[in-house]
Amino acid sequence: MKMQKITLVLLALLCCTGLFAQNNLISNTGARKSLSLNGKWQYIVDPYETGFYDYRYKELKEDNPDAYWNTDVQVNKTEKKEHGYIEKYSLEVPGDWNHQQPEFTFYEGTIWYKKSFDMEKAAAGSKYHLYFGAVNYRADVYLNGKKLGMHKGGFTPFNFEVPVSLLREKGNFLVVKVDNKRHADEVPTLNTDWWNYGGITREVKLIETPGTFIQDFVVQLKKNSTGKAPDKTPEVEGWVKLNQAPAAGETVTVEIPELKFKTSVPASGQTTALKFKLPKVQLWSPESPKLYTVIVSTQSDRTQDKIGFRTIEAHGIQVLLNGKPLFLRGISIHGEIPQEIRRAYSEQDAVQLLHQSFELGCNMVRLAHYPHDEKITRLADSLGMLVWSEIPVYWTIDFTSEEVLGKAKAQLEEMIVRDHNRASIIIWSVGNETPISPVRTDFMHSLLTRARELDNTRMVSAALEVNYNALNDKNIVDDPLGEFVDLVAFNEYLGWYGGLPDKCRTTNWDTPYHKPLFISETGGDAKGGFHADSLTRFSEEYQEWYFKEQVAMLKRMPAKFVGISPWVLADFRSPRRNNPLYQEGWNRKGFYDDKGNKKKAFYVMKGYYDEMKKKTLKK
C-alpha cells in the first residue's frame, strides 16, 4: 500500500515537471544557420481574446476563420470580417510593446503578432525550428494555420519544431498570441516590483539543422579541478546531447584549435559524456577573460562556441575562482534601458549596462530578478564580468502548488541550458525574498537540488531575508534554506525601510552557516538632481549618506563576507512606486538616474570598490 502511494506521488511529480520542461531546447543558436524573423510584425490588440474564444467562451477550432491565426486581411468588400493585420498596426520585434505605443504603457493582456515570410526551399533531410529568445508571458504559436505549441515564462528561450510539410517558399503566415496577464499561479506571480513589459521581447528566428543534430552540450571545467596542487590539471567534464539517438558508428568530436586539442569518442546514445584534461589552458578570469573557440561535431553536424575555462566554488567561508579567494564587487541590474523606458535586448543595451557597472568598479553583476537576454551573458564572458543569474521565483509565488513548482523548474532548466557554457556565470539563483515556511523551504530546496543536478560546476543560491530579532546586537541570516545554498545571500535595507542610515553604526551581521556571506541587495531611493540635506528622503544627499554608513558597516563585516551587489544600477519602472514628487512610477534606487546621470551615492560605492580592488591586488 505504502509502495503504491510512493509510486503515485512519484508519478504525479514526474507528470508535473515533465509537463512544462522542454526537452528540445536548442542551445548556442547563434552558431546555427537561421533566418531572422526580427523586424516589423503586424498586430491586433485583443483584450477580450476574441481571436481565441468564441462568444460562448469556447476555444476556437484550428480551422475556424474567426481565429486570428488563420487569416490575414479582408480580401473583398463583401467579406464579413472583423479582424485583420495591416502595416499601419506594426510593432518592432524584438521589443516590448509598452514603449512602442503610448496606449500600451499599462497594457496587460493579449496582442496577436503576425509576420509573413519567404524562405529558400526546405532542404531534404533538414529539420526546422522556430526559436524565440523570450516572449512575456504566454506565447501560442501558429504557422500557416497550424498550432506549433504554447510556452509560458517571460524570460527564457523556447523552440518548436516545424514539420517540413508545413513550410512554403512564399508567404508563410506566422502568428503568435502573446499574453502578459499576471496570474497567482504563475512565475512570477501577481505581485512584483518591476514593470510587466509584454511582447516578443527577444529575437525570433527559423533555425535549420540536420536531421540528427547537436541540440546542446557542456564543455566546462570540472569543479575544483584547478588550483595549486600538482595533480590539479584543469579537467573538462561535460557532455554532448543529440536531438535523438544517433545512427550506429556515430562519434562525437571536440576540438580546441588554439590548444591543438582534439578528442573523439563513440556516441553512446543520445547523450555522450566527455572527460579530458587541458594542461595548457589559460584560465578565464575577470582580469583575463580568455575565450577559446570550441568546435563540437558529429558525422552529420558541427557547431562551435567561444568558451572560457575557470572553476568556481564555495570552499568553507570563501569563494574560490580558479582556486583563489574572490571578493565580489557587484551590482544588481534590471534588464531595462531607463532612458527609453523599455526592456533591454540588444548588444548595444548590454554594452550600456555592463559599461555602467565597470564604471562603478564592479567585477560582478546580479542579473535580477529573471534571466536577462543572452547578449549580456555572452558580453560578460568576453569582457570579464562575473554573473549571478536568477529565475523569477519572487516574493509570494504559490509554494503549495506542484504545478507552480513545475513552472519554476522549467524556467530554471531553460536558463541553465541556454547559458551553461558561459564562464561569466558563477551563481544560479533560485529566487528572491521568499517568505519562510516549511512548504516554501521544500519548494526552494527542490529548485536548488534541480539546479545542482543540471550543473554542479557553479554555486547555487537565493536572495534571503534577515531575522532581525534573533539576537540583540546582531542581525542573523538563519533562514533554513541557508543549509542548502552554497552562498548565503541576503537583502537588507537598513536606513531605508527601517530607521535612519546611522543605524548601521551599531549593527552587526552574521549567519550560523559556515559558508560565504553575501549581501545581494541594499539601497534607498533618490531622485536624480534633487538636492537637499542628508536627512531629506529621496534626495541624492540622503542616498549618499545611506551608502557612506553602509560602507563603514561593510568594513566591520565578519571574515565570511565575500561581497555585495547593491540595489540597483539604474532607476527602473515599477507600478508600486507612486510618490508623485519623486517616483512617478519609478523605483529610484539607482546609482544612475533614468537619464543615465550618476547620483552622488555612485561615488561612495565606487570609492569602496576601488579600495577593495587595490586590497585584492596587493594580496
> Whose Cβ is closer to ligand GCB: residue 563's or residue 590's?
590
Shortest distance, position 587 Cβ to ligand GCB, whole Å? 5
Shortest distance, position 477 Cβ to ligand GCB, whole Å? 14
Footprint (CB under 6 A) of ligand GCB, residues 159-198: 193
Footprint (CB under 6 A) of ligand GCB, residues 191-250: 193
- Residue 170 C-alpha cell reads as 512564399
For residues 274 and 369, the answer to whether their CB atoms sit within 8 Å is no
> Whose Cβ is closer to ligand GCB: residue 283's or residue 360's?
360
> Whose Cβ is closer to ligand GCB: residue 199's or residue 392's?
392
- Residue 7 C-alpha cell reads as 509510486
Shortest distance, position 527 Cβ to ligand GCB, whole Å? 14
Shortest distance, position 571 Cβ to ligand GCB, whole Å? 10
Interaction mask 348-387, ligand GCB, x per CB under 6 A? ---------------------x------------------
Looking at this protein, which amino acid is placed at residue 486?
D
- Residue 212 C-alpha cell reads as 540528427
Shortest distance, position 462 Cβ to ligand GCB, whole Å? 11
> Whose Cβ is closer to ligand GCB: residue 503's or residue 555's?
503
> Whose Cβ is closer to ligand GCB: residue 125's or residue 499's?
499
> Whose Cβ is closer to ligand GCB: residue 209's or residue 587's?
587
Give the side-chain half-sphere CA count within 13 A for 512.
10
Shortest distance, position 562 Cβ to ligand GCB, whole Å? 20
For the residues of 206-217, what is the DSSP string, one character each?
A: EEEEESS-EEEE
Shortest distance, position 435 Cβ to ligand GCB, whole Å? 12
Instruction: Give the whole-angstrom CA distance, residue 539 versus residue 229.
Output: 52
Q: Does 571 bind ligand GCB (CB under 6 A)?
A: no
Instruction: Give the whole-angstrom CA distance, residue 480 versus residue 489.
Output: 13
Q: Residue 87: count other Cβ atoms within 10 Å of its Cβ.
A: 8
Instruction: Give the whole-angstrom CA distance, residue 41 versus residue 206.
Output: 15
For residues 168 and 117, the answer to whether their CB atoms sit within 8 Å is no
Instruction: Give the whole-angstrom CA distance, residue 312 versus residue 460.
Output: 11
Shortest distance, position 488 Cβ to ligand GCB, whole Å? 16
> Whose Cβ is closer to ligand GCB: residue 284's or residue 530's?
530
Of positions 589, 599, 600, 606, contacts ligand GCB by CB under 6 A: 589
Please report which helix (H) or strand (E) contains residue 192, including its range: none
What is the 3-state secondary structure of 258-301? HHCEEEEEECCCCEEEEEEECCCCCCCCCCCCCCEEEEEECCCC
Instruction: Give the whole-angstrom CA distance, residue 520 versus residue 47.
Output: 38
Interaction mask 271-310, ligand GCB, x per CB under 6 A? ----------------------------------------
Shortest distance, position 171 Cβ to ligand GCB, whole Å? 45
Phi, psi of 12, deg, nearest 5: -60, -40
Phi, psi of 568, deg, nearest 5: -160, 165
Q: Does 432 bind ligand GCB (CB under 6 A)?
A: yes
Footprint (CB under 6 A) of ligand GCB, residues 445-504: 491
Pairing status of strand 110-117 against strand 39-45: antiparallel
Pairing status of strand 135-136 against strand 386-390: unpaired
Q: Does 587 bind ligand GCB (CB under 6 A)?
A: yes
Please work out the total of residues on this chain that contact ligand GCB, with binding judged by CB under 6 A: 9
Location of C-alpha cell 525601510: 497
Of positions 433, 486, 541, 549, contacts ligand GCB by CB under 6 A: 433
* CA-closest candidate to residue 547, choices 564, 531, 559, 530: 564
Residue number with the smallest Cβ distance to ligand GCB? 193
Please report which helix (H) or strand (E) contains residue 573, including its range: strand 572-573
Q: Does 507 bind ligand GCB (CB under 6 A)?
A: no
Residues 222-240: b if buried by 16+ CB within 10 A, e if exposed: bbebbbeeeeeebbbbbeb
Shortest distance, position 474 Cβ to ligand GCB, whole Å? 20
Shortest distance, position 567 Cβ to ligand GCB, whole Å? 5
Instruction: Give the whole-angstrom CA distance, residue 271 versus residue 273.
Output: 7
Location of C-alpha cell 522549467: 410
Q: Does 521 bind ligand GCB (CB under 6 A)?
A: yes
Shortest distance, position 267 Cβ to ligand GCB, whole Å? 45
Please report which helix (H) or strand (E) contains residue 553, including its range: helix 540-554
Shortest distance, position 436 Cβ to ligand GCB, whole Å? 15
Instruction: Give the whole-angstrom CA distance, residue 178 versus residue 109.
Output: 8
Binding site for ligand GCB (CB under 6 A): 193, 369, 432-433, 491, 521, 567, 587, 589
